[in-house]
Structure 1
Amino acid sequence: MHLSRLKLKAYPVYLLMVGTYSLAGAIMFTLNLVYQVEIVNLNPLQLVLVGTTLETSCFLSQIPTGVIADVYSRRLSVIIGFVLTGIGFLIEGLIPNFAFVLLGNIIWGIGATCIDGAQEAWVIDEVGEEHAGRIFTRGSQVSQVAGLLGIPISIALGSLRLNVPVVTGAILILFLGLLLPLIMTENNFVPTPREDRNSWQAMGRQFIEARRALQIKPMLISIFGAGLFIGLASEGFDRLNQIHFLQDFSLPTIWGLTPVIWFGIMSAGSSLLGIATTELVNRGLNMNRTRSLVRALTVIDSLLIVCVVGFALAGNFYLALLAFWGARVMRTAQQPLYSTWITQNADSRIRATIFSFAGMVDAIGQIGGGPIVGYIGERASIRAALTVTGLLMTPILFFFLRAFRLLNRENASKQEENLAEPVTELEI
């Protein structure tokens, strides 16, 4: 009875973690890029380099931080992660200097990898796999609601001073990290077997297994190829959209709306439209049919390219806003479909490896593409950089075309096999 009572405590603690992190994230990120542009005075190249530094930190710290969760304690890994994340953002918010913003993002990257995966593994260990679907679904709902609540809070705090939302969110995350040792239990942790732990050898095995999977399942080449160019293009759009609004447009002053309020409206609009679009896709698309899935991804990514280029070249604020919302919505709709596409083409035995490898491909794309786009933004213009960002995604369409050809070939092979089957004569 005592053990059961302890297990039940994990569920509300998990919801507290995801809700607080989402609330703090919305408070910080709604105006974070505005803070970096207006207060820290970062140029386009520096803005992108901040994101590249974060991605590099996450990529390089996956192995050492994974050892904590695999060998010592998932609870400890999560606590360290929240404390480091809070410290990282506190440094960024208190010291408006490019070098310290980079330092803060390095620390955040390490903290994020401590949390990533360990948080989910911890709660499943504590409550049991049979409750995973319900817990993660409710966690996603709590995260969405908390994120929406954080936007008006960010606007109110940003109206005082642009670094206040960053500092407030950082303190909230740091407080969570210091609270967790008092309320977070761990009763069912079993160290991961040595051969399954995160290590450089394990990463090497992942590459070998992924290469074998590519030979067995050629569709994975299209999946990884599309993922690479998604990564190449994502960093430029994510890091340069707010500076584009600030420097290339005059934000309307109707109804007394300040720039801070406008960015809150943009963020809230993106979130609400994203939630609605995801629901429409889930209801209207048969995700069990690969052809329907690839067709939907082709349409979504084609629209994404049009929206990003349209955002770059828009001649007035309202066209830019519509294109921005369109791009954000397409990005939101794309993510679950891409994950489903991977699932359909990865054998269950190596599915985790394939997902991990897909994450590495995306990270490599972001690390490689970000500085190029940032350099163009610094040397030419932000419009040019965002246009290149949109054009960087066009090779994705080639990989979708290749996917359709593979599907047609598979269908033709199945038809030939059916025709080749011997026909048994009916006895009269």
Structure 2
Amino acid sequence: MVATFVRWTWMRAVLHNGWWLVTSVYLVVDAGLSPAELVLIGSVQSAFALVFEIPAGVVADTISRKWSLVISQLLMGTAMLATGLVTSFPAILATQVLWGISWTFASGSDVALITDELDDPASINLVLARAARAQLTGAATGLVVLGLLAWSTRRDVTIVIAGIAMAALAGYLALRFTEDNFVPTRSRRWAASWSTFVRGVTLVRRSRAILLIFAATFLVNGASDAAGRLTQKQLFDLGLPTAPDPIVWFTALGVIGLVLGAVVLRLATRRINGDHARTDYALAAVVGVLGMLLLGFARNAVVGAIAVVLLNGIVTPLTRVISTIWVNARTSADVRATTHSFLAQLEYLGEITCGLAISTLAAVGTVPLAFSACALLFAVTAVLMRRRRLTTCL
């Protein structure tokens, strides 16, 4: 089951990250969206995902984690495919909203499924770290393969092909995944769903460690998502070469960042599984401050590219893996997917709240000012994670 899970994680990362590489350029070059529109898409997408996240998590805890993932793949593939067929802002917004909804059926369900099927608390953190590394190497593969495909054909064609392949991956899930250790609720499902939700809330409220990680996730994800949607525009403004095709440059940047991320996770796996997770999270936040300021005030595309590699290769993989492992270790099997859905909700809340604020700064101010706001959020996170009074619970 572990090998199957890691293989699926790799394949999903190939398609999703390769698709987003091509789509991020497509939105700027082909659709011509403004910086404010790019960030607004993230905020609206997150608002819809926020609404669907808890029901999706409760469904996974009461009906099936496996079939929640199958639904996610089908919806995700549809959204990805549709993106390549439209260029107007309202239509693109609709496709990204559908993508956000699709992800709610997967967030938490995948971790809950492998945790319960493995049924080995001593090794699950190592398995999750292994899956995270597979996600990074898969993402690097996707950037190269789909980037080359977009360069040799067309961006919209590549986007459609990636969407079809993602939907087809649902078949792999349905055939290869097992769900032997999960007992679905057979009767009074609405009552059971509400009970699951209440138990999840109670668990979170009583755990200061989970609440701290939730707060850090809110700040970090809000800053990262907003900055990620401005990165392509910023690099173009800094003079990123247009020959060869920009896809080539973004592919190279993405691969370098992902390879660095895989190395960082490899080195940090034992620390994450031990007593150093809080310190590593704080250090990642400090690197986030430096990366955001470097990207916002870069004088040329080379400096901007270095900042992007730091953010994608150190900050993003470390903060995400640490958050997932710490929450997973502090929840129980009956509410595991629901609790991870709570974590995802904090991510979406960060994207909505911080994204709207940073979108406003980008629209009425300057892009460097928007990146400075992102750096401030990372700075607050670093301070929060290092305060002894709040972090002794970790």
Separation in 1, partners of 2:212, 2:182:
38
Q: Deviations over 1:325-363 (max 9, x none)?
A: 11222222233344455578x476999476554433232
Separation in 2, partners of 1:185, 1:27:
28
Does 2:154 correspond to 1:168?
no
Match of residue 250 from structure 1: 239
Which of 217, 225, 232 is the matching residue for 2:222? 232
- SS of residue in 2 equivalent to 1:288: coil
- SS of residue in 2 equivalent to 1:30: helix
Return the offset for 1:366: 1.6
Separation in 2, partners of 1:111, 1:220:
25
Q: Deviations over 1:105-137 (max 9, x none)?
A: 222223222233444555677x65359848756
Which of 345, 351, 376 is the matching residue for 1:391? 376
CA contact (8 A) 1:27 1:165 kept: no
Match of residue 303 from structure 2: 319
Q: Sequence identity, in percent?
A: 24
How many aligned residue pairs are there?
Answer: 387
The structure with the largest alpha-carbon Rg is 1
Return the offset for 1:79: 2.5
Separation in 2, partners of 1:187, 1:287:
27
Does 2:256 correspond to 1:269?
yes
Match of residue 48 from structure 1: 39
AA partner of residue 252 (structure 2) = I
AA partner of residue 390 (structure 1) = A
- SS of residue in 2 equivalent to 1:394: helix
AA partner of residue 231 (structure 1) = N
Separation in 1, partners of 2:215, 2:161:
40
Separation in 2, partners of 1:178, 1:349:
26
Return the offset for 1:15: 5.2
Which stretch shows the higher mean deviation, 63-72 or 106-115?
Answer: 63-72
Which stretch shows the higher mean deviation, 139-148 or 176-185?
Answer: 176-185
Q: 1:145 to 1:310 in 2, by over 3 A?
A: closer
Which of 285, 288, 309 is the matching residue for 2:274? 288
Which of 365, 370, 374 is the matching residue for 2:350? 365
Which of 124, 133, 147 is the matching residue for 2:139? 147
CA contact (8 A) 2:385 2:391 kept: no
CA contact (8 A) 1:24 1:172 kept: yes
Q: Deviations over 1:370-415 (max 9, x none)?
A: 11111221222222211221123222233134x324568x9xxxxx
Separation in 2, partners of 1:223, 1:184:
30
Q: 1:338 to 1:130 in 2, by over 3 A?
A: closer
TM-score, normalised on structure 2? 0.83
Which stretch shows the higher mean deviation, 201-210 or 97-106?
Answer: 201-210
- Match runs of 1:104-143 below 5 Å: 104-119=95-110, 129-130=119-120, 133=124, 139-140=131-132, 142-143=134-135
Q: Deviations over 1:5-40 (max 9, x none)?
A: xxxxx6776455333312211320122211111111
AA partner of residue 274 (structure 2) = N
Separation in 2, partners of 1:227, 1:202:
23
- SS of residue in 1 equivalent to 2:31: coil
Consecutive unaligned residues in structure 2, runs of 5 or more? none
- Match runs of 1:341-380 below 5 Å: 346=330, 352=336, 355-380=340-365
Q: Deviations over 1:177-229 (max 9, x none)?
A: 35655666766652148699884564455334433334xxxx55544433332
Separation in 1, partners of 2:223, 2:344:
15
Match of residue 246 from structure 2: 259
- SS of residue in 2 equivalent to 1:116: coil
Which of 17, 21, 25 is the matching residue for 1:26? 17
Separation in 2, partners of 1:135, 1:407:
26
AA partner of residue 398 (structure 1) = V
Match of residue 423 from structure 1: none
Separation in 2, partners of 1:180, 1:395:
40
Q: 1:188 to 1:228 in 2, by over 3 A?
A: closer
Does 2:184 correspond to 1:191?
yes
CA contact (8 A) 1:376 1:385 kept: yes
Which stretch shows the higher mean deviation, 198-207 or 297-306?
Answer: 198-207
